[in-house]
């Protein structure tokens, strides 16, 4: 890697700072809120039209028949590809286009793209339109600099990461977009901080427990069987038995923040008895159903069988001990933990460039939650994948979310130089 060549590339990225900021603002101003998955087509077209003008081959792929897809809310994905001077590997940058709802607490317009004090504000600034913009500028700078490279560069903007990714990366992965020989190395510019390389995520098991009972008149509860009381017994076991055991399970995975280096369980929602979607009074009834949805995050040291087995054992013990206790258990979603080898080419190339650009060693981390890498590994069978982007992890999904302009510029340099290392085989 020639020093002058690097200096020229980095100068071009710095000269494009205003362009980088304007592109980030343009992306933020399209409110791709998911759910329901609004305005994907408009956002995908910003990427597609811009890169088409730079000579990229553009493909729009709608995730038809995936959750939430409809003519009103099409799951539009865009993939842009530009070939180099000859045969070689492909480096792919994948960003999700969707953002979560802004929620309360904003002091600026969440879709305004305000620039203040070196930061761009807005829903999705950090997670992850700033990362998408940085990857576009990185690739454009390589082309502007006229640096010859073999193989190909790809950039995609995809739907539905915030809701599981089935209509986005999951859909594309099933069609070969994230497999060899089309793609060799994938960088996902999720917000993990500009000096950190994310090599995986914990596992997730989402499930629903229903306790079952029998209706009766509420004035004579002894004639019925109260599903809410049974759920109370489940909660008591979780509180006093399961949660303390999970808190003792520690992992060697370098999960950030540190509190997530243990097994965790969140109780997402609970409902029993009559609905709440009316005004007025309830009838007097003993509830015959109570349902709870929970979110279990697990470690590479645990097996899915063990994770499921803990819950089944807890429920079966209650069935033996409590008269009238019965339950159903429904799995909603499962993804195993992902951990990319720290010696994988994409990890080494990006880590080397983080150190070269920022002057400090890259920190390898693991995300507490999942992201689209799961589809790339499971469906695409591609292991050379990381998350690396300019956003600050703690700001994701928060009010007054922003991305630092200097962090975007630095991450664009890392992305550009790391891509060239991977394409030319100059991996340290
Ligand atoms: Zn994200």
Q: What CATH number corresponds to the domain at position 128? A: 3.40.630.10
**Which uninterrupted H or E stretch holds 212?**
strand 203-212
Last residue of a domain, one of 308, 335, 362: 335
Q: Are 236 and 228 in contact (CB under 8 A)?
A: no
Ion ligand 1 neighbours (CB, 5 A) are 127-128, 190
pLDDT of residue 275: 84
CATH number at residue 232: 3.30.70.360
Number of compact structural domains in the chain: 2
**416: containing domain:** 3-201+337-424
Same-domain status, 153 and 281: no
Same-domain status, 14 and 159: yes
Give residue 397 CA to ligand 1 midpoint distance, Å.
9
pLDDT of residue 5: 81
Digitized pLDDT (tens) for each residue of the chain, 428 residues in all: 555 788 999 999 999 999 999 999 999 999 999 999 999 999 999 999 999 999 999 999 999 999 999 999 999 999 999 999 999 999 999 999 999 999 999 999 999 999 999 999 999 999 999 999 999 999 999 999 999 999 999 999 999 999 999 999 999 999 999 999 999 999 999 999 999 999 999 999 999 999 999 999 999 999 999 999 999 999 999 999 999 999 999 999 999 999 999 999 999 999 999 987 778 888 999 999 999 999 999 999 999 999 999 999 999 999 999 999 999 999 999 999 999 999 999 999 999 999 999 999 999 999 999 999 999 999 999 999 999 999 999 999 999 999 999 999 999 999 999 999 999 998 98
Same-domain status, 290 and 410: no
Same-domain status, 129 and 16: yes
Phi/psi for 375 (5° steps) reads: -70, -35
Same-domain status, 19 and 164: yes
* Other beta carbons less than 10 A from residue 53's beta carbon: 8
Same-domain status, 23 and 154: yes
Give residue 190 CA to ligand 1 midpoint distance, Å.
5
Sign of CA dihedral 175, 180, 181, 182: positive
3-state secondary structure of 366: strand
Q: Are 31 and 39 in contact (CB under 8 A)?
A: yes
Same-domain status, 135 and 148: yes
Question: What does the DSSP 8-state code read for residue 259?
Answer: G
Question: Per-residue b/e over 91-102, b at no fewer than 16 CB within 10 Å?
Answer: bbbbbbbbbbeb
pLDDT of residue 428: 87
Question: Per-residue b/e over 110-144, b at no fewer than 16 CB within 10 Å?
Answer: bbebbbeeebbbbbbbbbbbbbbbbbbbbbbbbeb
Sign of CA dihedral 187, 192, 196, 198: negative
From CA 105, how far away is CA 114, in angstroms rounded? 16
Same-domain status, 11 and 153: yes
Give residue 96 CA to ligand 1 midpoint distance, Å.
7
Last residue of a domain, one of 285, 304, 335: 335
Same-domain status, 318 and 412: no
41: CB partners within 8 A, 6+ apart:
74, 76
Q: Are 294 and 268 in contact (CB under 8 A)?
A: yes
Same-domain status, 141 and 251: no
Same-domain status, 258 and 390: no
Our measurement of the distance from residue 370's CA atom to the centroid of its chain's CA atoms, rounded to an integer in Å, reads: 5
- Active centre residues (catalytic): 98, 161
* Other beta carbons less than 10 A from residue 287's beta carbon: 24
Give residue 161 CA to ligand 1 midpoint distance, Å.
7
pLDDT of residue 2: 55
Q: Give strand ranges (E) for 247-356.
A: 264-272, 289-298, 326-335, 338-339
Give residue 134 CA to ligand 1 midpoint distance, Å.
15
Rounded to two decimals, the pTM is: 0.90
Same-domain status, 153 and 84: yes
Last residue of a domain, one of 335, 361, 389: 335
């Amino acid at each position: 890697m020639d020093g002058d060549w690097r200096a020229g590339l980095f100068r071009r990225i710095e000269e494009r700072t205003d362009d980088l900021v304007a592109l980030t603002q343009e992306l933020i101003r399209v409110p791709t809120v998911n759910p329901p998955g609004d305005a994907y087509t408009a956002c995908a077209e910003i990427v597609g039209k811009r890169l088409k003008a730079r000579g990229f081959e553009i493909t729009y792929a709608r995730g038809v028949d995936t959750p939430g897809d409809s003519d009103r809310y099409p799951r539009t994905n865009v993939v842009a590809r530009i070939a180099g001077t000859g045969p070689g590997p492909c480096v792919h940058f994948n960003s999700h286009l969707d953002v979560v709802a802004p929620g309360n607490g904003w002091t600026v317009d969440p879709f305004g793209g305000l620039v203040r004090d070196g930061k761009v504000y807005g829903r999705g600034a950090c997670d992850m339109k700033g990362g998408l913009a940085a990857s576009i500028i990185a690739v454009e700078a390589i082309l502007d600099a006229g640096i010859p490279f073999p193989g190909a560069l790809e950039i995609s903007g995809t739907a539905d990461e915030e809701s599981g990714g089935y209509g986005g990366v999951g859909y594309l992965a099933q069609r070969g977009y994230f497999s060899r020989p089309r793609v060799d190395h994938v960088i996902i510019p999720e917000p993990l901080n500009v000096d950190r390389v994310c090599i995986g995520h914990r596992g997730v098991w989402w499930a629903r427990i229903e306790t079952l009972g029998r209706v009766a008149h509420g004035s004579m509860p002894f004639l019925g069987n109260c599903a809410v009381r049974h759920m109370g017994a489940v909660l008591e076991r979780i509180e006093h038995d399961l949660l303390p055991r999970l808190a003792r399970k520690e992992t060697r995975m370098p999960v950030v923040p540190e509190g997530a280096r243990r097994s965790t369980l969140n109780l997402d929602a609970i409902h029993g008895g009559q609905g709440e979607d009316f005004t007025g009074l309830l009838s007097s009834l003993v509830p015959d159903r109570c349902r709870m949805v929970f979110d279990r995050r697990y470690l590479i040291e645990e097996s899915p069988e063990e994770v499921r087995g803990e819950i089944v054992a807890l429920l079966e013990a209650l069935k033996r001990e409590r008269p009238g206790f019965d339950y159903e258990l429904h799995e909603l979603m499962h993804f195993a933990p992902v951990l990319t080898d720290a010696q994988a080419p994409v990890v080494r190339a990006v880590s080397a460039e983080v150190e070269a650009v920022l002057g400090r060693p890259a920190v390898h981390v693991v995300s507490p939650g999942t992201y689209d890498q799961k589809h790339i590994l499971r469906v695409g069978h591609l292991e050379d994948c990381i998350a690396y982007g300019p956003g600050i992890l703690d700001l994701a999904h928060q009010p007054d979310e922003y991305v630092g302009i200097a962090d975007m510029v630095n991450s664009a340099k890392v992305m550009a130089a790391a891509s060239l290392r991977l394409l030319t085989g100059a991996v340290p």
